Amino acid sequence: MLPPCANGATARTLEELGATTINVSTDLAASELAELRAACTAPLDVYVEVPDDQGGFVRFYEVPEIIRAAAPLYVKLGIRNASNIYPAGLHLEDLAIKLGRERVRRAELVLRMLRERASAPRVASANNR
């Protein structure tokens, strides 16, 4: 697995080598994400809630700005202050289900925030993809 991308030249090279999405560093500002966007057309994978072992940032309020700067992108939720369950197994099934439900709840929070705070981005739902 490649390390996260943090600059336009790397993003462009990854895309030229066949990458269909670009996993970016977790701490990039919207302006830095815009530089990546200018360098490639592949969707960016952007954590807006970063797992603790990758920095632990929570960036929900930045989502509208991030979308304006870097769309198309995938917003990722890693859940702060949660146990790392990978590699998962049956012994962790209940925790994995609860973490999955929590990710859905937090995704709903991000969508609600987008509806309330953002005028420009268009939010796709499962019904209009």
Per-position b or e across 14-32, b if 16+ CB within 10 A of its CB = bbeeebeebbbbbebebeb
What is the average pLDDT across 44-56? 88
Separation of first and last alpha carbons in the chain: 29
| pLDDT of 70 above 70 | yes
In this predicted structure, what is the pLDDT of residue 123?
55
Q: For the whole model, what pTM was predicted?
A: 0.80
Q: What average pLDDT does the structure give for the chain? A: 87
CA-based R_g, the chain, Å: 15
